[in-house]
Amino acid sequence: MKGICEGRVVIVTGAGRGLGRAHALAFAAEGAKVVVNDLGVSLDGAGGSDDPARAVADEITAAGGTAIAHAGDIATSAGAASLVAAAVDAFGRLDTLVNNAGFLRDRMLVNLDEDDWDAVVRVHLKGHFLPLRHAAAHWRAETKAGRPQTARVVNTSSGAGLLGSVGQGNYAAAKAGIVALTLVAAAETARYGVQVNAIAPAARTRMTERTFATTMAAPEHGGFDAMAPANVSPLVVWLGSADCAGVTGRVFEAEAGRITVMEGWRPGPTADRGTRWTPQEAGGAVRELLVRAAEPGPVYGTR
């Protein structure tokens, strides 16, 4: 029986460990040819090695799949361009891009220096933009050449980007930016046969091991490891397949066996005076509106 990604060529960034590795293995199991990208840095972005990417590519190959490794820095234009070129050169096409790479430098805002801000925003937000930009340019060229595309992009946001997270101002801002980038990309690239969605996953990885220190496997769940990265991958594979036709510009939360469609900013209660408010009148109107408005979700770390 063929998998739902049979014959598709898939790039996964940050695929040397954690969620990215799980995604790469899951795509390969569904018949995809996988480009495994990982810079091989430490948790805070230091160093670098091609060993993690090669290890996952070798794991896929040993299991009978097809994969190549790419250890370029996708937060540079040259690295992102070489990543797309690697897929096309090796397999003749590109069908799916999964943006997943990232690291953490957590600090409270008053202790967060400019380098920590720039490094995290660079790898998460710029590291999403550049591969997406080069992949979209490829799909646009293919479409204009008369070769219709069934292309997919899956971006990786976070609950921190949707609700905020104490001690993670840099990470939360970058992940919120990824949601906005997803919405814009879905609208702009639809004409080229591209669908763009995002996930906000919760799983045990290097970045979350202190938060999810235990497996959360319980006898009543048959020993199910609720925080295993592989729990998130089935949704990512489906979003990266042709089967998800018509689903674009959406954000999904994925954790354990749960999938949630996240609903973003929408107009709530409103007041229109028909002319300019005084400051006191504006304040009174706001207080009346807030009584009728839904309470925002709590920022992570506040309770």
Catalytic positions: 158, 171, 175
Q: Which residues, listed in sequence order, are joined to residue 153 by a DSSP beta bridge?
A: 97, 196
d(CA 16, CA 14): 6
SS3 70: strand
Contacting residues for 265 by C-beta, under 8 A, at least 6 apart: none
Nearest one of 80, 84, 83, 127 to 102, comparing CA atoms: 127
Radius of gyration of the chain (CA): 21
Q: What is the separation of C-alpha 39 from the centre of its chain, rounded to a whole number of angstroms?
A: 17
Give buried/exposed letters for 259-281 (b at 16+ CB in 10 A, else e): eeeeeeeeeeeeeeeeeeeeeee
Q: Are 83 and 13 in contact (CB under 8 A)?
A: yes
What is the rounded CA–CA span in Å between residue 258 and residue 194? 26
Neighbours of 159 (CB within 10 A): 18
